[in-house]
């Protein structure tokens, strides 16, 4: 399998991207890596490794660039070249830490939608903080600010395939994010989506789930529109981050006894930070395209690049996208 990597995307590019790729290349010896970007800058961080190919280009998409326009005009940008490699079958998956909007546009305009899918959606895997499962998937977290019920229904099928194939959950529990668990709850979109999900035979629909229960693993796949999903994702991040800050501040401001307590708790608190480390769960996946397209945080460091490549490796090994394509384009049952 071959992964096309935009080496120039993200705040720490190309260093973090190249270092993370080198880490991954050591482990995944069955995989070929293609780094797209400024060759001289990339080579600086590259040790000799035969399976890392560098494809030089001077052009790149910047974080402030207009997504669709930049993808259309910057035809030699590292992200665009990497996307084209996937389109042309020279690579099996696309990875970037760059401009999210531009990556969505590259996925949609270059890699291409699966027939039968209206719009791809963005899925993230988040750690739970309690409950019997260690993570759950939320989709869409921002690819489509406005959604139609049919899109939410497709997200459910896509997300369910993902949880099955990549995470090995035999019968993923799919929930609809809603402002109450009763059947008739929600805005018009949620109410109509509920009716479609109830009839969707490809998923195990468990009904409405509330935002309050997400981190307790109330469902394996939670679907919603991209506006609400994005708000929920950012609220989880903001609340968790501020809670950690608050715990530290509380420890420091409550005198010596509290400070000593804090010191004794240092290991425990760093375990806590580990639990909350989203990067270990990889990047966000744009599902509904003909090949895996994965985005990681702009501020990514080599570790999260490594974890994201591991995730891509799992996606390719499990043939999740091939199965989804067969399901939607040919109406076949997934190969189990």
Q: Which of residues 138 and 169 has its CB atom nearest to its own copies in the complex?
A: 138
Return d(Cα 112, Cα 215) in angstroms, integer: 33
Return d(Cα 303, Cα 322) in angstroms, integer: 28
Handedness of CA 159, 162, 163, 169 (dihedral sign): positive
Q: Which of residues 98 and 292 has its CB atom nearest to its own copies in the complex?
A: 98
Residue 301 CB, nearest approach to its own copies (Å)? 20
Q: Which of residues 56 and 185 has its CB atom nearest to its own copies in the complex?
A: 185
Q: Which of residues 7 and 139 has its CB atom nearest to its own copies in the complex?
A: 139
Interface residues toward its own copies, by CB under 8 A? 129-130, 142, 145-146, 177, 179, 185-188, 190, 210-216, 224-228, 230-247, 249-251, 253-254, 257-258, 260-265, 267-269, 271-272, 275
Return d(Cα 226, Cα 321) in angstroms, integer: 21
**Residue closest to 61 by CA, chosen among 73, 51, 46:** 73
Query: Quick check: helix, strand or coil at residue 270?
Result: helix
Residue 224 CB, nearest approach to its own copies (Å)? 8
Q: Which of residues 190 and 289 has its CB atom nearest to its own copies in the complex?
A: 190
Residue 56 CB, nearest approach to its own copies (Å)? 33
Residue 172 CB, nearest approach to its own copies (Å)? 21
Q: Which of residues 47 and 187 has its CB atom nearest to its own copies in the complex?
A: 187
Query: Quick check: helix, strand or coil at residue 30?
Result: coil
Residue 102 CB, nearest approach to its own copies (Å)? 14
Taking a C-beta distance cutoff of 8 angstroms, is the pair 111, 293 a contact?
yes
First to last CA, the chain: 20
Residue 34 CB, nearest approach to its own copies (Å)? 31
Positions of E strands within the chain: 2-6, 32-37, 52-56, 93-96, 121-127, 135-139, 173-177, 204-209, 221-223, 284-287, 293-295
Number of C-beta neighbours around residue 42 at 10 A: 24
Q: Which of residues 47 and 239 has its CB atom nearest to its own copies in the complex?
A: 239
Residue 107 CB, nearest approach to its own copies (Å)? 18
- DSSP label at residue 293: E
**Residue closest to 147 by CA, chosen among 184, 208, 116, 189:** 189
């Amino acid at each position: 399998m071959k992964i096309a990597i935009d080496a120039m995307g993200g705040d720490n590019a190309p260093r973090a991207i190249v270092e993370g790729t080198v880490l991954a290349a050591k482990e995944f010896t069955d995989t070929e890596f293609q780094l797209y970007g400024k060759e001289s800058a990339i080579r600086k961080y590259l040790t000799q490794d035969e399976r890392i190919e560098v494809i030089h280009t001077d052009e790149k998409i910047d974080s402030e660039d207009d997504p669709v326009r930049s993808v259309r005009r910057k035809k030699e940008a590292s992200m665009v070249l990497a996307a084209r490699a996937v389109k042309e079958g020279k690579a099996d998956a696309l990875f970037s830490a760059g401009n999210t909007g531009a990556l969505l546009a590259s996925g949609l305009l270059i890699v291409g939608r699966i027939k039968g899918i209206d719009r791809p959606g963005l899925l993230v895997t988040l750690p739970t903080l309690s409950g019997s499962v260690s993570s759950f998937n939320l989709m869409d977290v921002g690819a489509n600010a406005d959604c139609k019920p049919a899109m939410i229904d497709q997200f459910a099928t896509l997300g369910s395939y993902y949880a099955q194939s990549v995470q090995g959950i035999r019968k993923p529990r799919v929930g609809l994010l809603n402002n109450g668990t009763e059947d008739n709850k929600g805005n018009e979109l949620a109410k109509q989506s509920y009716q479609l999900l109830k009839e969707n035979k490809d998923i195990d629909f468990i009904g409405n789930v509330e935002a309050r229960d997400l981190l307790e693993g109330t469902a394996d796949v939670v679907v919603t529109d991209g506006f609400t999903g994005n708000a929920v994702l950012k609220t989880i991040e903001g609340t968790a981050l501020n809670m950690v800050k608050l715990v530290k501040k509380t420890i420091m401001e409550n005198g010596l006894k509290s400070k000593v307590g804090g010191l004794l708790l240092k290991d425990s608190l760093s375990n806590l930070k580990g639990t909350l480390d989203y990067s270990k769960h990889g990047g966000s996946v744009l599902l509904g395209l003909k090949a895996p397209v994965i985005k990681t945080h702009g501020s990514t460091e080599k570790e999260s690049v490594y974890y994201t490549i591991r995730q891509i490796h799992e996606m390719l090994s499990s043939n999740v996208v091939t199965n989804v394509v067969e399901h939607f384009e040919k109406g076949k049952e997934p190969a189990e």
